A and B are shown apart, each in its own frame.
Chain A
Amino acid sequence: MRKRVEILALLVLVCLPALFAQQRFTISGQIKDSRTGEDLIGAVIQIRELPLKSVGTNSYGFYSLTLPAGSYEVTAQYAGYKPCIEKISLEKSQKLNFSLSEQARELDEVIVYGRRKDENVTKTQMGLLKLNVKEIKNIPVLFGEKDLLKTIQLLPGIQAVGEGRSGFNVRGGAADQNLILLDEATVYNASHLMGFFSVFNSDAIKDISVYKGNEPSEYGGRLSSVLDIKMNDGNDKTLSVSGGVGLISSRIVVEGPLIKDKGSFMISARRTYADLFLKASSDTSLNKARLYFYDLNAKANYRINEKNRLFLSGYFGKDVLGFGNTFGINWGNSTATLRWNHLFSDRLFSNTSLIFSNYDYKININSGVKLNIISRIQDYGVKQDFQFFGGDNSTLKFGFNEVYHQIIPGAITAISNVSLKSLTNKHALEHAMYVSHLFSLSQKISIEYGARFTLFNLIGPGTFYTYDNKGNIASRSTVNSGHFVKTYFNPEPRATLNYVFNQQNSVKTAYARNVQNLHLLSNSTSGNPTDLWIPSSNNAKPEISDQVSIGYYRNLSENKYEFSSEIYYKNLQNQIDYKNGAELNLNDNVESQILFGKGRAYGLELFLKKKSGRFNGWVSYTLSRTERKFDTVNSGAYFPAKQDRTHDISVVGMYDLSKRWSLSATWVYYTGNAVTFPSGKYVVDGKTMFYYKDRNANRMPSYHRLDLGATWLRKKTATFESSWTFSLYNAYGHDNPYTITFQDSKSDPTKTEAIQTTLFKLVPSFTYNFKF
C-alpha cells in the first residue's frame, strides 16, 4: 500500500509542470508494419514544427506525445520503411496510428538499418547495442545456422567464450552474469549441443537489445548485461509460411491472422538431424546414438480494443543425447509469458506479465548402476510495468517484479533396488521495485536516472549450513517450509547523462549498480548442461557491480557512418571462484567448494559502422582487462580472469553484388584467454603429473579467423521467394586452438609434449530458404 502512495506522489511531481503550461493535448497510438501488422519497436515520431519533440515507440509499438494545441505535420519513420506523414490540427487529445510499408529494395538506394538515423547520438541510453534480425541475415555462420548470440559477439565489449560458442562474456563478466530474456522470461541455459548453437531460432526473433551493464531500472538480476530478445508477433494480414533446409537442421515458420487486423499468431520450429548421419555409421554404438535438438517458438496476440491487448508467448526446446540404453541425457528450457497491455489513458501505458521459466536436465544411467538424475530451476513471476509519458520530453517508468525460484539441484531416483540420497531443494523469493525518469534539462542535456530495489529471501524448508574458511561445516540450522533463512536487501541506483553538442556529436556518461542473487557454478572451460544454479545464501552473498562509463558518439556523412567510443570501469564484489579440485557435482555441501573474492574490469571500446549503401558493415575494437582477487589464489593478488582479453577485433563487411547476389565476410582476432599451464612435472605411482604455480598465468595463442558468405536470391515473386546461402567458416584454415593439453610424448616416452586440438577449419555449409 505504501508503495502505491509513493508512486502516486511521484506521478504528481512529474505531471505538475504540465498543469501550469498552456493547454496541451496528447497524440498517441501504434506504429505497425503495413504488410505484416508486426509492431515496430523503436520507430520514431517527429513533429516538423517542433523538431526537438520526438519520441520512439516502446516494446509494444506504442507511443505517446504531448504537445501544445496547434497544427502539426507528424512523421512516423522506421529504418528500411517509407516514412508516413500526417497533418493534424491538435485541439483535443487524439489517437494517431501509423502503418508503414517496407521500402522496395533497390540496389543503389540508401538503406539504413537500425532505428532513428541519429539515435546513436541523441538517445540518452549508453552501453546499448541493438540488432535487427534483418540486419544480420547475410553474415556467414558456422554450419549455416544464423545465430544471434554469435552475431552479437562481433560487437564491442562482447566476447565469445570460445571457438564456435554461443556463450559470451560482456565487459569482463562471467557467462552467468548475462540476463537473457525471451519475451521477458529468463532463459537459464541459452545453448544447444554443448554451446555450439544458441536456443534462439532467428526465424522467430524480431529484435535483440544488449545492455552492457547500464540497463534501465526495469531490468535487474545479473551483473554484466541484459540481452532482451523479442519474438515476432506474427502476420495479422495473411497466412504465410517460410522455412529453410540446411546441412544440419531444418526450420519452418507459420504465421497468420487469428482475426484479421486484430490478432495474429506465429509458430516456429527447428530440428537438427546430426543423428541421421550417425545411423549410417558402421560402428554399432555410434549408429544407435541419439543426438539432436529442437526448438519450438509460439506466440499469439489479440487486440481486444484500442485500450487492451493480450500476448501469449512460449518457447520449448530440448537437447537429446544418448547411447543405446547405457546412457542418456536431455536438457532444455521452457518459457511462457502472458502479457496484458492496457492504456489507462493516452499517457499512461501499462503492461502486466505472468512469467514462467524452467530449465532442467535429466540423466539416465544404465551401466552398472541404474539411476536417473533430475535437476531443475524453475521461476514463477509477475511483472508490472508502467510508462507515463509526461510531456516536455519526460517519461517516467515504474513497476515491480516478483519471482519465486525453485531449484532442484539433483534428485536421484534409482531404478535398481538401491536407495540413493537426493540433494536438498532450494526455494527463494526475489522482489524488485523500480522507478526511472527520463527527461530533457535543456535542448542539449538529457538525463535518465532511477533506482531498483531488490529484496531476496532464501526460504525453507531444508537444512542450511554455514562453512568456515576451510570449507568445514561451522553451523547448521533446520528451517521449516516458508520460513526465511537469509534475506538481502540492495538498492541499485542508476543514472545516465547525455550532452548533445549538435546532431552529429554527443557525450554520455553513466553509473549503474547491479546486483545478482543467482549464481551459476561452472568450472569447466566450456560450460556444461549440468552446471548448477545456486541462490544467495548464508555463504554466497549477492554479487554486486558498480560500473562507471563515459562515451563519445559521432555520426558522419549524414548519418551514413556511426562512430562510438566508450570507456568503462567496473568494480565487482562477492565474485565466485572454485577451490582447487572443487567437487561441484551432486554435492550437498557445494557451497563449501566455493571461494569468494572481488574483481575489477576496465576497457575501451571503439565502434565504426557504415549503415547504408551497397557496401555496409562495421569494425569493432575492444581493449580491456579483467581481474579477480581471492585470498587463497595466487597469494591474494589480482590475477587475470579466464575471460580477460587484451585485444578483441571484429570486422564485418556486406556487399550487394547484384540484385541476386550478396556477399559477406567477417574477420575476428583476439588475444588468447588466460589459462593455467604447467610450470613443471613429476611422477606419482608411475603417472606423469604436472606442477602448477599460479592460476591463469599463461595465455592461449591468439585467435583469428575469416568467414565468407554468399546469398543467392533465386526467385522472388509476390507470392514466392527462395534463396540459397553459402558460407565458409575459417576460410584460410588457421589452426585455432580449442584446447591445449599436456601428456607424455607418444614417440619419446622420456619427454612430455603439448597437444593442441583444433575444431573447425574450412567448414563449408549451405542452406535453402523459402517463403510463400
Chain B
Amino acid sequence: MIKNITWLLSVLIVFGSLSACKKVIKLDLNTASPQLVIEGNIYDHSGPYTVKIFQTVNFDESNAYPAVTGANVILSDNAGNSEQLSEIYPGSYITSKINGVPGHTYTLDVNIGGKSYSAISTMPFPVDIESIYFQKSLFGNNKYPGINFIDPANISNYYRLIYLINGIKQEDINVTDDRISAGQTISYTIRPIDTDNKLKTGDVVTIWLEAVDQGVYEYFRTAGREGGQSASPANPTSNISNGALGYFNACSVRALSVVFP
C-alpha cells in the first residue's frame, strides 16, 4: 500500500509536467569487476529446485550473463536432509531429492574456487488467495488486478506476488507485509510499471502468492525500490553472505487464475 502511495506520487510528478519529453542518452558509466549473483528458490511443492549462479556484466554490454560453472552447491534443512546439487546446464544447479516443507529452515552453501557463500531461509506456511479483482487505473482506461487474502493472525507475515498474463511472468516486483493490518483481510492491487501492456478480454490473469520469510521480503522490497525515485539507489539487501548478489528463497506458493472479462 505504501508502495502504491509512492507510485502515485511519482505519477504526479510526471503529471505536473505534461510537457515532459524523454530520450535515450549516451552516458559514460563506471565499470565494475564481475560480481557473483546467486538465485535459488525452493517451493512447498515437489522439486527439482534450481539454483542459478552467474556474473554481472557492464552496463553497455549485452544482456548475457556469464555462467559460473563448477561450483560446489549444497542444500540442507533443519530436519537433517542434505544434498549436493548437480549442474545440468552451465551455471544451473538442480536438486534431486530434497523436498520443500513449510516450517523447515533451509541452508544453501555455495563454494566457488575456495570462496564460500551461504544463505538461510525458512519456509512459511501457505496462504490462500481468496479472490482476484480488477480495479480501474487512475490514468487511461486500464484495469489492474488485485487479490484478497486473509493474513494469519499472531505472527509477522511477509508476501511476494508474481503476476502472469497468459502464462508470461510480468517483471514487476510486488511485496507486502502485515505491519499495519495483522490478522486482517489484505487487499493488494498490482500496479504495473509497463502501462502499455493493457489487459484484453480473454486474457488469463494468474497471480502467485508466495509466503516468504523476512529476509526474502527485505530483498524484494529493496529490489523494488531500486527503480523508484530514491535519491540513493543501492543494491537490494541480500540474504546471502559474503557480498553475493541475488537471493535464496524458501517459500510456500498458492496461485489463482481468472479470465479477464
Which residues on A are within 8 Å of B, measured CB to CB? 164, 193-194, 196, 283-286, 289, 291, 321, 323-324, 326-327, 329, 363, 365, 367-369, 412, 418-421, 522-526, 528-530, 577-578, 580-581, 583, 585-587, 642, 676-693, 695-698, 735, 737-742, 744-745, 749-761, 763
Contact = CB atoms under 8 A, between A and B. Distances in A.
B26 interface: yes
B176 to A, nearest CB: 11
Interface in B63-119: 63-65
Given A327-B8, A680-B58, A698 B63 contact: no
B57 A680 contact: yes
A692 B22 contact: no
Contacts of A291: 15
B230 A326 contact: no
Nearest to B187: A368
B23 A755 contact: yes
A490 to B, nearest CB: 28
B236 interface: yes
B32 A754 contact: no
Interface in B201-231: 218, 221-223, 225-227, 229-231
A215 B129 CA distance: 60
A114 B23 CA distance: 44
B25 interface: yes
Interface in B164-193: 169, 171, 173, 179-182, 184-189
Contacts of B223: 684, 689
Interface stretch (B120-128, B139-147, B252-260): B139-147
A368 B147 CA distance: 9
A5 B235 CA distance: 59
Contact of A682 (B37, B222, B230): B37
A368 B188 contact: yes
Nearest to A421: B180
B59 A759 contact: no
B21 A757 contact: yes
12 contacts: A283-B140, A523-B230, A577-B232, A686-B171, A687-B173, A688-B63, A693-B30, A750-B62, A752-B59, A754-B27, A755-B24, A756-B22
Contacts of B138: 285, 289, 323-324, 326-327
Nearest to B172: A687
A50 B24 CA distance: 68
B227 A586 contact: no
Given A327-B138, A752-B59, A758-B21, A321 B12 contact: yes
A581 B234 contact: yes
A642 B231 CA distance: 8
B16 interface: yes
Contacts of B187: 368-369
Given A525-B229, A586-B2, A286 B139 contact: yes
Given A327-B138, A585-B6, A194 B13 contact: yes
A691 B32 contact: yes
Contact of B235 (A523, A683, A692, A751): A692
Contact of B16 (A196, A283, A690, A752): A196
B180 A680 contact: no
Given A283-B139, A365-B5, A585-B2, 6 more contacts: A285-B136, A368-B135, A677-B27, A677-B29, A682-B245, A754-B29
Contact of A419 (B15, B31, B184): B184
B27 to A, nearest CB: 5
A550 B248 CA distance: 57
A25 B26 CA distance: 73
Nearest to B228: A524
The listed residue with most A CB atoms (<10 A of its CB), out of B9, B13, B185, is B13
B14 to A, nearest CB: 8
Contact of A524 (B140, B180, B231): B231
Contact of A528 (B1, B9, B22, B146): B9
A745 to B, nearest CB: 8
A657 to B, nearest CB: 29
Contact of A284 (B58, B141, B171, B233): B141
Nearest to B8: A327
Contacts of B25: 737, 740, 754-756
Contacts of A689: 223, 226, 236, 245
Given A581-B218, A756-B25, A681 B56 contact: yes
A526 B13 contact: yes
Given A682-B56, A686-B169, A580 B29 contact: no
Contacts of B137: 285
Contact of A763 (B5, B9, B19, B189): B19
Contacts of B133: 368
Given A327-B138, A581-B222, A693 B32 contact: yes
B177 to A, nearest CB: 10
Task: List the 10 closest pairs (A to B, CB-CB), nearest first.
Answer: A581-B222, A368-B187, A580-B234, A679-B32, A680-B56, A759-B17, A585-B2, A687-B171, A418-B184, A682-B56
Contacts of A678: 29, 59
A619 B108 CA distance: 63
Contacts of A742: 59
A684 B5 contact: no
A705 to B, nearest CB: 14
The listed residue with most A CB atoms (<10 A of its CB), out of B17, B22, B37, is B17
A754 B12 CA distance: 22
A679 B65 contact: no
A684 B223 CA distance: 10
Contacts of A580: 222, 232, 234-237
A367 B189 CA distance: 8
B160 to A, nearest CB: 10
Contacts of A368: 133, 135, 146, 148, 187-189
B229 A682 contact: no
Contacts of A763: 19
Given A585-B5, A677-B27, A685 B227 contact: no
A686 B162 CA distance: 12
A696 B64 CA distance: 27
Nearest to B182: A421
Contacts of A698: 29-30
A578 B232 contact: yes
B31 A680 contact: yes
B235 A741 contact: no
A697 to B, nearest CB: 6
Nearest to A691: B56
A721 to B, nearest CB: 33
A522 B229 CA distance: 11
Given A678-B29, A691-B245, A750 B20 contact: no
Contacts of B181: 369, 418, 420
Contacts of B44: none
Contacts of A363: 5
Nearest to B193: A743
B247 interface: yes
Nearest to B23: A756
A420 B67 CA distance: 46
A686 B173 CA distance: 11
A381 B19 CA distance: 43
Nearest to A527: B231
A759 B19 contact: yes
B152 to A, nearest CB: 15
A741 B230 CA distance: 11
A41 to B, nearest CB: 35
B54 interface: yes
Nearest to A737: B25
A563 to B, nearest CB: 36
Nearest to B41: A685
A738 B20 contact: yes
Contacts of A696: 232
Given A196-B16, A421-B180, A583-B221, A679 B31 contact: yes
Contacts of B21: 735, 757-758, 761
B236 to A, nearest CB: 7
